[in-house]
Amino acid sequence: MIIEVLIYAVSGMVTGLMAGLLGIGGGLILVPVLSSVFLIFLQTEYIVHMAIATSLATILVTGLSSVISHHYERAVQWDVLRAMLLGILVGGFVGAWSSQFFSMYWLSKLFGVMEIMAGLYMIWGKQPHADRCLPGFLGLNGVGFGIGSLSALLGIGGGSISTPYLQWNNVVIQRAIATSAAIGLPIALAGTFGYMLAGLQVDNLPAYTTGFVYWPAFIAIVSMSVFTAFLGAKLAHRLPIKALKRIFGLLLIGLGIKMLFFS
């Protein structure tokens, strides 16, 4: 049990730092790590569901710490979040609730593909056309629904999709990272609720769970990530983010390949 908790705590340190630094929810690291750890310590056929649900729950705490720090740097575009909010909340709940209809096999494969795509974008992301800009209210809500549903289903918090999307529409990278961190909060809220509700209908889940959320992992992760997320958000405005994104992209590709062969 001690080794298990230590793994969760170290994972929390890393994911918190990456969440603040790159505007991702942390699920791109947490889901592969938790899936592997749960496979060793827990006896259930819903390993990936629990990893995704627990990852989403941690984003509620990690993401808040990151957003507060980004807000102090005046980098969060709150008007963009308000315009996308309804679509994000509805999409987040729908994506998470629908997870009960996916087997562990397909969830792991979908996550692996998504992670590899995110890694490739971080390494080779192209510069947007100078005249491209964000759409209006209806367009942003449609985008929010798509980001929310896919992010909640796979437990990635939204930043892996919303950061590239905002950059593609000529939002400065630091503002894209900060705003993506804020977008991740309603996705995590709706997604966590959806996964809890979906898991309540499943029998024989391990002890200390609510739906698919596994609380021992949640507590150990957020106890560390809340501090490193704040640090990461501070560093995001001082470090060469483009170079860091390429390095992190390689890590994501490796983790994505691992999830493709997870069973």
- Which band of pLDDT confidence, cut at 50, 70 and 90, is reported for residue 263? low
pTM for this model (two decimals): 0.82
CA atoms of 52 and 50, how far apart (whole Å): 5
pLDDT (tens digit, 9 = 90+) per residue, 70-81? 888 888 999 999
Per-residue confidence (pLDDT) for residue 155, from 0 to 100: 78
Which distant-in-sequence residues (6+ apart) come within 8 Å of 110 by Cβ? 102, 153, 154
C-alpha to C-alpha distance for 238 and 258, rounded to whole angstroms: 32
Which residues form the domain of 218?
A: 2-260
For the cut 60, the answer to whether the pLDDT of residue 95 exceeds it is yes
Cβ atoms within 10 Å of 94's Cβ, excluding its own: 17
Would you call 52 exposed, middle or buried from its count of C-beta atoms within 10 A (0-12, 13-18, 19+)? buried
pLDDT tens digits, 15-48: 888 777 776 667 778 888 899 899 989 988 899 9
pLDDT in tens, 126-148: 666 767 788 888 999 999 999 99
Structurally, the chain folds into a number of domains equal to 1
